[in-house]
Each structure stands twice: as structure tokens, then as C-alpha cells.
Amino acid sequence: MNRNTWYFLALTNIFVGINTSAQSVISDDNRSEATWNEKNLSRFENKLETLRQTYHIPGFSVGVVHHGDLRWHQGFGFKDLESGEVPDENTVYHIASITKTFGALVMMKLVEEGKIELDDPVKIHDIKLPGKWGLSNDIKIEHLLTHTARGNMFNGYKPGYDFKYNGSWYHELGNAYVSATGKTFGELLISEVLLPLGMTDTAPSLYDSLAFSKTGFEGTVYSNKVAKPYDWFKKRLIPVAFNYNFGPAAGLMSTVADLAKYSIAIDDQKLLQEDSWQKILTPYATVKGNTTIYGLGWFVRDYYNTKFIWHTGWWRGYSSLLIKVLALDLTFIILANSQDVSRPFYNFLFGKSLHRTLLASDFANAFIEHFVFEDNESY
């Protein structure tokens, strides 16, 4: 399936609703005039700057990819408050849990090569889960990739019944790469993804010196590209000191420009076969046939009758969001040097929350309003 066929199939129902009024998704035929004009881009930039100040974010880099090109990019605020340097598309940030999308990609390459199976019990790959789950023979590789391993009290804590996001269990997949190939996740990621895609500013965490060394980058030179992390605490921004580990769940460092290359590779279905990409980008169906919000390493859900895939990142001193609208060949990337592209939009008890719906994010809604909706004049 080529890129055009994928988008044709994704363009099923293109009319959407927001609040009580009808709103339509803009077609690619009209996108150049309606979206990329100076007025709309200026409004979008102003909206992002307002959000940055509202949520006390020191700086972020933003990009929008369209038709195989990083069509628009902009840096806001500061890469380092002390130096006053402004970030850009080549500024490096920790992307936190967006790393999980790479974890799934590398795993599916091993599946294609016959080195591992998604229905392999995790125990045979030296993955040791805590408590009763560590004794189970029923928890499979796919359950960790889809966050469906844990279960709950209503199903006897059996895997495959419901979605419950668990980054620490996803991290345990690191043992499976070694078990299947004798190589670490970092080694496979560099050789199978980063080098082929020319992602020349993407690397495992500097704090994992062994994994970082595999890139061949010089540490001091690379560290100068990294945005300094901060946290909004007691009504002021303070520098963050934290040991950022690395694995298939988190710890990758990247830039807007490199993630644009990654996004374009997904659009062009590079690195994997067509059916593997379909598997990754299809929401997991539980034992009872219920559809979850997560595929293999990606959140997946229809909004406004259009398929969105995305992942967030949230760590001390950094946050991120990557959204793809396949039907429109459109991708939004934002990387920040504080927690607050993500933290304000997580409500784990009640109401709208980013772990349940993309539309909890003000940054996601700003992108949708200015690039996805046809009537963006009203925003």
C-alpha cells in the first residue's frame, strides 16, 4: 500500500462536530490556501505563545509536517533562561514516552525477522514482572506493548481484558530485545532506525553512557544542543537535576527536525511491511472484543470521524506531544523543556484527561483548530 492509498482509505468521513456547531476537516486540495497563509500561521504562533506563558513553560520547539516536508517550524521562549538562547527545530529535548513508539517499531522488525513473536510469553524472554504477574504464563509480549497486561479485580487480574497504561512494565521489554538478538534496544534502535532515517541529532540519554556511546557522538558537543530542563515550582522556574535513564519506554533524546524525518518514514511506510504498520496503528481489541485507545506503542482514536494517532511525553524537566492525522498527511510535533506541555492536562480521578483523550490538551486543540478544521478563521 503506497502513501496515497493509505490516505485515500483514511479519508472516510470528513465532517466533524465541535460543541453544538458543525465543523469540517479541511481537504488537502484547499489546505495550501486555508492553512499555510500568513494570517493563520500568525494566529497559531500567538496561540502557542499564549499557552507557553499561561503554563509557565520556559521554551519549546514546534513543527508541522505536511506532504513529506517540515512545512512550518518555530522556537518559542528560551532553550536556557540564563543564556537567553532561543530554541529551534534542531534543539535537543528528552522526548520521554514518545520513545515507546520506537520501542514498538523495533519490536515489530524483530517479529518480521522471525526472532520474536507477539504472543511469546514474557517469561521466556527473562522479563520478570512483580507479584502474581511474575508467575503468570499468560502475559505475552503484545500485552506489554498495548498496556493490557495487568488486568483488574473484576477479571482476576488476567491479561488482555483492559487498558491500563504502565510505563515501568513497558520498560521491561528491554530484556526481550537482548533475549531475541543478543543486542540491546539501543543498539537495534541506532542500526535499524536512526541511521537509516538520518536522524543525526537523536540519541539515547546522556545519562546512559554505554547506550549513548553507541551513537559515536561526542558527549560535550551533543550536550550543548540540549535544552536545559526546568520546573514551575512555588511560582517560579527552577532548574531540574535528574538522572534520565534509557530504555524502550523512555529516555530517547531528539529534535523537531529529526522527529519530522521519523514521521515522514511512517507516512511512507518505511522500515516495516504494510501489515506491520497496520498492526501498530490499530487499537488493541480486548478478549471481550472491546477496542482500547492504544495500538502497539501509539494512542489511536477517531475524533471528528478522522483517525488520530499520537503519543505524549512527560518527565521531570521535559514534555512532548506528537500527533499524526494520516488522512491529511499532517503531523504536529512539540517538545518542551518543562513538564507543562503534558502535566496540566492529566486528571487521574475525574473529568477530561490526556491519558484518556487527546482533546484534553490545549496544545492538541490549538493544532486541530488551526490546521485540521476548515473554518480556522474563528480561532
Q: Residue 120 half-sphere exposure, CB side, CA atoms within 13 Å?
A: 22
Question: What does the alpha-carbon distance between residue 22 and residue 277 come to, in Å, rounded to a whole number?
Answer: 32
From CA 13, how far away is CA 293, in angstroms rounded? 20
Residue 356 confidence (pLDDT): 92
Instruction: State residue 7's pLDDT score.
Output: 52
Q: What is the pLDDT of residue 4?
A: 57
Query: Average pLDDT of the chain?
Result: 92
pLDDT at 375: 60
- Across 67-77, average pLDDT: 97
What are 286-301's pLDDT values in tens digits?
999 999 999 999 999 9
Q: Measured at the alpha carbon of residue 79, what is the angle toward residues 258 and 102, in degrees to the nearest 5?
A: 30
| Average pLDDT rounded to a whole number, residues 97-116 | 98
Quick one: pLDDT band at residue 109, thresholds 50, 70, 90? very high
**pLDDT of 13:** 38
Confidence of residue 239 (pLDDT cuts 50, 70, 90): very high
Mean pLDDT of 140-158: 95
Share above pLDDT 70 across residues of the chain, in percent, rounded to a whole number = 90
pLDDT at residue 16, as a whole number: 34
Q: How far apart are CA 374 and CA 370, in angstroms?
A: 8
List the one residue out of 246, 245, 254, 237 whose CA is nearest residue 80: 237
The pLDDT score that the predictor gives to residue 1 is 57
Q: Cell digits for 340?
A: 507543562
Averaged pLDDT, 74-102:
98
CA–CA separation, 55 and 193 (whole Å): 34
Distance CA 232, CA 73 (A): 25
Predicted confidence (pLDDT) at residue 32 exceeds the cutoff of 70: no
Q: Which fold has domain 3-378?
A: Beta-lactamase (3.40.710)
Q: For residue 377, name the pLDDT band (cuts at 50, 70, 90).
A: low
Q: What is the pLDDT of residue 3?
A: 62
Q: pLDDT by residue (tens digit) across 2-11?
A: 565 555 444 4
For residue 15, pLDDT over 50 is answered with no
User: pLDDT confidence of 348, banded at 50, 70, 90?
Assistant: confident
% of residues, the chain, pLDDT over 90: 86
Q: Which amino acid is at 157?
A: Y
- Per residue in 154-198, pLDDT (tens digit) is 889 999 999 999 999 999 999 999 999 999 999 999 999 999 999
* Among the listed residues 314, 288, 310, 315, the one whose alpha carbon sits nearest the alpha carbon of residue 297: 310
Predicted pLDDT at 292: 97
pLDDT at residue 19 tops 70 = no
Q: What is the mean pLDDT of residues 330-353?
A: 94
| Mean pLDDT calculated for residue range 243-262 | 97
Task: Compute the average pLDDT of residues 212-236.
Answer: 97
- Enumerate the domain spans of the chain: 3-378
